[in-house]
Structure 1
Amino acid sequence: MEQERKIAVLIDADNVSQKYIKYILDEIAKHGLPTYKRIYGDWTSPQLARWKDVLLDYSITPIQQYSYTAGKNSTDSALIIDAMDILYSHNINGFCIVSSDSDFTRLVVRLRESGMYVVGMGEKKTPKPFIAACEQFKYLEALAQIDEPKVIPQNTVKVPEELKKLTRSIRNIITDISDEDGWASMSKVGNILNKREPDFDPRNYGYPKLTSLVKAIHVFEVDARKTSNPHVNNYFIKNKETGKRR
């Protein structure tokens, strides 16, 4: 039996609201077991008062880091030093860095160079370099489902602007991996999409799964194939013909 991935969850309290904590831990449970749960900040600061109310509820260890100099973020340095100490302890095989700050980009690159699985989490304002450095990146707003789902009309032919880039990516992946009949495994498409675009998540578009998002775009064919388990289907996806005629 494959051993469950052990993950160190390190949270930058200066850049993340306490309202997301449940969603952060629920999400990381899908990737592995949160072995370390630490949060960094100056706990003498009134701005972090709300965090103090939830730390005990979720068994998160607060790490005190005083702001020695105005304008300098000592919290970042403390988190980075701890991350390297944890890395060299050889007790874990994955990290979750929770912050919207690009200062952790080099840390993530270093962790991945050491063979670590790294998930990033932050708000939509997170700079692209940090997102690109992670194996996967999750937007906190999407995890918390703050935005209402974007409903795409069933009779639509034109793909909404925000989905055009995603649609092109999915089309290209299907072309690359499909069988002779043009069908590709939905799960394989999703895996490749995550590798090419670390911040991809169907919840960013208001859908719980890739399958439901793909069906809503209406430019793909989806086939549900039965398995030996009557409650489980394997889904396959195919590019629809453009319908152009001479």
Structure 2
Amino acid sequence: MQSDFKLAVLIDGDNIPSAYVKEMMEEIAKYGNPTIKRIYGDWTIPTVAKWKNVLLENAINPVQQYAYTTGKNSTDSAMIIDAMDILYSGKVDGFCLVSSDSDFTRLATRLREAGMKVIGIGEKKTPEPFIVACDKFIYIEILKNRAKENETSSTSNKTSRKNDYDKITPKVVKLISSTISDLADDDGWAFLGDVGSLLQKKQPNFDSRNYGFEKLTPLINSIGKFEIEQRDSYKGKFKLIYVRNRKK
């Protein structure tokens, strides 16, 4: 966690399930200090009532937004207005927008234009335009899987959870291979840290956890088409991992 990197966390209460708030806040804490935490919704309607039990536990400030007009999403408007107010206040270094709604695509783009880092969190149904408008996009399904793993560690349940993850398709393998090639030295080797950073820029929702791996190294190793090498760092204090495409 970057304790000096301040984040504004804005949550669309109408469009996000409440079951995994604890895991969501733990994930956000990896990227910075969430100094502003707000959730938007009409708290007078039953559909958002389940949020109320978790707001105090996670110090999230609920913002009441009445649905004045049928067919209009007033929650979106309130979030966008608040986001711009926070941006101009200069109190944060980045934003975490929690929603599966493509209506926040322009907001994410505008915040990045202003030099803000934007992290998106939403379900896999989130439209592609919102995903690519963020610097990084995290699927809530990853957090659900983590919660399940915390609940039980039996072999039978581990087997059944394999179905919860995405398959490593030829498209994913090609993305990793081309990224390695983009960064490779004359011998074909690329520093894995740089590979991970470039993968994130090319595809903001790329995450090894989508495929059941906590880190990028075991994901790449499982594919069988790449070579991995550990090297001593400067003064040998720790190991650096390099990767290259396996020669045909």
TM-score past 0.5 threshold:
yes
Q: Retained in 2: the 8 A contact 1:222–1:238?
A: yes
Structure 2 alignment gaps of length 5 or more: 149-159
The whole-number CA distance in structure 2 between the counterparts of 1:191 and 1:143 is 21
Task: Report the CA distance between 1:19 and its aligned residue.
Answer: 1.1
2:52 counterpart of 1:52 = yes
Q: Retained in 2: the 8 A contact 1:8–1:36?
A: yes
| Residue identity in the other structure for 2:104 | F
The whole-number CA distance in structure 2 between the counterparts of 1:218 and 1:163 is 13
The whole-number CA distance in structure 1 between the counterparts of 2:39 and 2:3 is 26
Task: Report the CA distance between 1:226 and its aligned residue.
Answer: 3.4
Task: Report the CA distance between 1:150 and its aligned residue.
Answer: 6.6
The whole-number CA distance in structure 2 between the counterparts of 1:183 and 1:95 is 35
Matched residue, 2:161: 148
Matched residue, 1:213: 219
Measured against aligned partners, the alpha-carbon deviations of 1:81-108 in whole angstroms (never above 9, x if no partner) come to 0000000100001000000000000111
4+ residue runs of structure 1 moved beyond 3 angstroms?
A: 226-230
Q: Retained in 1: the 8 A contact 2:180–2:243?
A: yes
| 3-state DSSP of counterpart to 1:19 | coil
| 3-state DSSP of counterpart to 2:20 | helix
The whole-number CA distance in structure 2 between the counterparts of 1:198 and 1:229 is 33
Matched residue, 1:157: none
Matched residue, 1:17: 17
The whole-number CA distance in structure 1 between the counterparts of 2:65 and 2:14 is 11
Matched residue, 2:153: none
**Mapping for residues 30-109 of structure 1, pairs under 5 Å:** 30-109=30-109
The whole-number CA distance in structure 1 between the counterparts of 2:162 and 2:197 is 23
Structure 1 alignment gaps of length 5 or more: 152-159
Choose from 200, 203, 212 the match for 1:197: 203
2:144 counterpart of 1:131 = no
* Residues 61 and 212 (structure 1), Cα distance of their counterparts in 2 relative to 1, 3 Å cut: same
Choose from 172, 179, 182 the match for 2:188: 182
Q: Retained in 1: the 8 A contact 2:97–2:118?
A: yes
The structure that is helix-richer by fraction is 2
Q: Retained in 1: the 8 A contact 2:3–2:32?
A: no
Q: Which moved more, 1:164-173 or 1:8-17?
A: 164-173
Measured against aligned partners, the alpha-carbon deviations of 1:93-150 in whole angstroms (never above 9, x if no partner) come to 1000000000000111111110100000000000000001001100010132268247
The whole-number CA distance in structure 1 between the counterparts of 2:15 and 2:68 is 18
Task: Report the CA distance between 1:161 and its aligned residue.
Answer: 6.7
Matched residue, 2:156: none
The whole-number CA distance in structure 2 between the counterparts of 1:196 and 1:12 is 26
Task: Report the CA distance between 1:178 and its aligned residue.
Answer: 1.1
Task: Report the CA distance between 1:233 and its aligned residue.
Answer: 2.3
**TM-score, normalised on structure 1?**
0.89
The whole-number CA distance in structure 2 between the counterparts of 1:30 and 1:201 is 14
Measured against aligned partners, the alpha-carbon deviations of 1:191-217 in whole angstroms (never above 9, x if no partner) come to 000000001000111110010100111
Q: What is the percent sequence identity of the aligned residues?
A: 53
**TM-score, normalised on structure 2?**
0.88
